[in-house]
């Protein structure tokens, strides 16, 4: 998808890991069930960078394309539930994805916001913007039946953030299959 026309307002770029269809359906089902409906404008997602300058679009596309072409699809699993204080998330363990993000962060050094420079905890938010009491109750309820499970990370994607639902820019699927096995 091309960059916006010159007359379009500039918007930050968001980078996500692409989640396989079956795993996305599962995580998004949890998100739809537990995220306040009036605030839930996005499907479940795994954000790598929250806000990159739009002026870096060409460079970010080049970096993501290179990673998708040369990196092996990272093995990953939803390892545990975590409290966000006012919400709940699925913690994702994936040394391979952490390494990919670290390489991207190094290449983008100097252009990252403080949030994106801070330590990264891969997660998929399934509830947010609720009272701490409501979040604790959901965390406790979900822990009753929770079991770690593999999750497919199939690629990397770019989106424009214009205040509402994200607008897709480009997606890059991993071309080298990794050790991912669904059990």
d(CA 44, CA 30): 9
Check residues 25 and 8 and name the one with the higher pLDDT: 25
For residue 103, tell me if it sits in a domain: yes
Q: Is 0.85 topped by the overall pTM?
A: yes
Tokens 């966000």 belong to residue = 84
For residue 177, tell me if it sits in a domain: no
The residue range of the domain holding 74 is: 13-162
For residue 129, tell me if it sits in a domain: yes
Q: What is the pLDDT of residues 151-167, one digit of tens each?
A: 999 999 999 998 878 99
d(CA 113, CA 155): 23
For residue 1, tell me if it sits in a domain: no
**Residue 45's closest CA among 143, 164, 157?**
157
Return the axis-axis angle of helices 57-70 and 95-107, rounded to nearest 10°.
Answer: 150
For residue 71, tell me if it sits in a domain: yes
CATH number of 44's domain: 3.90.1140.10
Q: Which pLDDT value is given to residue 9?
A: 55
Reply yes or no on whether the pLDDT at 4 is more than 60: no
Q: What is the 3-state secondary structure (H, E, C) of 54-76?
A: HHHHHHHHHHHHHHHHHCECCCC
CA distances from 181 to 76, 85, 146, 156 (A): 10, 33, 19, 19
Q: What is the pLDDT of residues 84-134, one digit of tens each?
A: 999 999 999 999 999 999 999 999 999 999 999 988 999 999 999 999 999
Domain count, the chain: 1
């Amino acid at each position: 998808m091309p960059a916006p026309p010159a007359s379009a307002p500039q918007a930050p770029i968001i980078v996500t890991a692409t989640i396989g269809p079956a795993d996305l359906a599962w995580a998004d089902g949890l998100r739809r069930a537990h995220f306040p409906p009036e605030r839930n404008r996005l499907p479940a997602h795994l954000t790598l960078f929250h806000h990159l300058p739009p002026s870096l679009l060409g460079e970010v596309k080049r970096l993501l394309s290179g990673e998708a072409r040369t990196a092996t699809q990272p093995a990953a699993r939803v390892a545990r539930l975590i409290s966000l204080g006012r919400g709940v998330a699925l913690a994702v363990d994936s040394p391979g994805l952490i390494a990919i993000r670290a390489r991207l962060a190094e290449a983008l050094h100097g252009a990252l916001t403080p949030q994106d420079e801070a330590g990264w905890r891969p997660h998929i938010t399934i509830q947010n913007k609720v009272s701490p009491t409501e979040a604790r109750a959901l965390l406790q309820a979900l822990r009753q039946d929770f079991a770690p499970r593999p999750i497919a990370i199939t690629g990397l994607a770019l989106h424009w953030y214009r205040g509402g639902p994200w607008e897709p820019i480009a997606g890059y699927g991993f071309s080298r299959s990794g050790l991912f096995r669904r059990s």
